[in-house]
Chains A and B, each alone.
Chain A
Amino acid sequence: MLEYKRDGWKAAICLAPSLLLMCIFTFWPIINSFIMAFLNNYYFALNRSDIYNSLMDVDKSFAYFMGGRFTGIGIQNFITLFRDKDFLIALKNTAFIVFVSVPVTVIIALLIAVALNSIKGLRGFFQTVFFLPYVTNTIALGLVFNSLFHVDYGLINKLFNMVGTSWINSGATWGRAMFVLFLYSVWDGLAFKIIVFLSGLQNIDKQYYQAAQIDATPRWRVFTRITVPLLSPMILYITITSFMGAFKVYSSVIGIFGTGRYGPVGNYKLLITIVGYVYDQFDVSGMPFGVGSAGSMVLFGIILLITLIQMQASKRWVHY
Chain B
Amino acid sequence: MERKKEEFFEPPDAGVRTQHHNVEVRLENLTKEFTDKTGKVTVAVNDFNVTIPSGKLIGLLGPSGCGKSTTLYLISGLLKPTAGRIYFGDEDVTNMPPEKRGIGLVFQNYALYPHMTVRQNILFPLVNMKVPKQEALALAQEMAELVHIGDLMERKPNQLSGGQQQRVAIARALVKRPRVLLLDEPLSNLDARLRLQTREEIRRIQRETGITTIFVTHDQEEAMSISDEIVVMNEGIKQQMDRPQAVYEEPVNMFVAKFLGNPPINIFEADLIGGRLVLKDGEVVADGFTEPDQEVFIGFRPEYLRVSKNGKITAKTDLIEHIGRDTMILCEIEGYDHLIRAIVPNDMELKVGQTIKLDCVKLFVFNAETGERYR
Identify the A interface with B (CB < 8 A): 205, 207-208, 210-218, 221, 225-226, 229-230, 232, 319
Besides the contacts A211-B107, A213-B78, A232-B115, what 9 more A-B pairs have beta carbons closer than 8 Å? A207-B107, A210-B78, A211-B113, A213-B98, A214-B77, A214-B99, A214-B104, A215-B99, A218-B128
Assess whether B107 is in contact with A216, with CB atoms less than 8 Å apart.
Answer: no
- Contact partners of B109 in chain A: CB under 8 A: 205, 207
Assess whether A214 is in contact with B115, with CB atoms less than 8 Å apart.
Answer: no
Smallest Cβ-Cβ distance to B176: which chain A residue: A215
Interface string of B85-110 (1 = CB under 8 A from A): 00000000000011110011101010
- Contact partners of A212 in chain B: CB under 8 A: 124
Assess whether B176 is in contact with A319, with CB atoms less than 8 Å apart.
Answer: no
Assess whether A216 is in contact with B129, with CB atoms less than 8 Å apart.
Answer: yes
Interface string of B107-135 (1 = CB under 8 A from A): 10101011100000000110111000000
Q: How far is the CB of A77 from chain B (nearest CB, A)?
A: 47
5 CB-based A-B contacts, threshold 8 Å: A211-B111, A213-B98, A214-B104, A216-B129, A221-B128
- Contact partners of A210 in chain B: CB under 8 A: 78, 98, 105, 107, 111
Assess whether B124 is in contact with A214, with CB atoms less than 8 Å apart.
Answer: no
Cα A210 to Cα B109 with chains together (Å): 12
Q: Is B165 in contact with chain A by the CB < 8 A criterion?
A: no
- Contact partners of B105 in chain A: CB under 8 A: 210-211, 214
Cα A180 to Cα B67 with chains together (Å): 57
Interface string of B69-82 (1 = CB under 8 A from A): 00000001110000
Cα A176 to Cα B98 with chains together (Å): 50
Assess whether A205 is in contact with B115, with CB atoms less than 8 Å apart.
Answer: no
Cα A225 to Cα B113 with chains together (Å): 9
Which of A210, A211, A214, A232 gathers most chain B CB within 10 Å? A214
Assess whether A214 is in contact with B114, with CB atoms less than 8 Å apart.
Answer: no
What count of chain B residues pass the 8 Å CB interface test? 23
* Cβ 8 A contact of B113, one of A208, A213, A214, A232: A208
- Contact partners of B104 in chain A: CB under 8 A: 214
- Contact partners of A217 in chain B: CB under 8 A: 99, 124, 128
Smallest Cβ-Cβ distance to A319: which chain B residue: B115
Smallest Cβ-Cβ distance to A318: which chain B residue: B115
Cα A36 to Cα B262 with chains together (Å): 81
Cα A319 to Cα B100 with chains together (Å): 31
Smallest Cβ-Cβ distance to B76: which chain A residue: A214
Assess whether B115 is in contact with A229, with CB atoms less than 8 Å apart.
Answer: yes
Smallest Cβ-Cβ distance to B104: which chain A residue: A214
Smallest Cβ-Cβ distance to B114: which chain A residue: A319
Smallest Cβ-Cβ distance to A230: which chain B residue: B115
Q: How far is the CB of B271 from chain A (nearest CB, A)?
A: 52
* Cβ 8 A contact of A215, one of B97, B107, B115, B125: B125
Assess whether A216 is in contact with B78, with CB atoms less than 8 Å apart.
Answer: no
- Contact partners of B99 in chain A: CB under 8 A: 213-217
- Contact partners of A229 in chain B: CB under 8 A: 113, 115
Task: Pick the 7 closest A-B CB pairs, nearest first.
Answer: A216-B99, A319-B115, A207-B111, A215-B125, A229-B115, A211-B111, A207-B107
Known: A207-B107, A207-B111, A230-B115. A214 touches B78 (CB 8 A): yes
- Contact partners of B100 in chain A: CB under 8 A: 216
Assess whether B128 is in contact with A214, with CB atoms less than 8 Å apart.
Answer: no
- Contact partners of A216 in chain B: CB under 8 A: 99-100, 125, 128-129
- Contact partners of A319 in chain B: CB under 8 A: 114-115
Q: How far is the CB of A122 from chain B (nearest CB, A)?
A: 17
Cα A207 to Cα B78 with chains together (Å): 10
Smallest Cβ-Cβ distance to A232: which chain B residue: B115
- Contact partners of B172 in chain A: CB under 8 A: 211
- Contact partners of A218 in chain B: CB under 8 A: 128
- Contact partners of A205 in chain B: CB under 8 A: 109, 111
Q: How far is the CB of B128 from chain A (nearest CB, A)?
A: 5
Q: How far is the CB of B193 from chain A (nearest CB, A)?
A: 26
Q: How far is the CB of B344 from chain A (nearest CB, A)?
A: 47
Cα A217 to Cα B113 with chains together (Å): 13
Q: How far is the CB of A231 from chain B (nearest CB, A)?
A: 10
Cα A218 to Cα B103 with chains together (Å): 17
Smallest Cβ-Cβ distance to A210: which chain B residue: B78
- Contact partners of B176 in chain A: CB under 8 A: 215
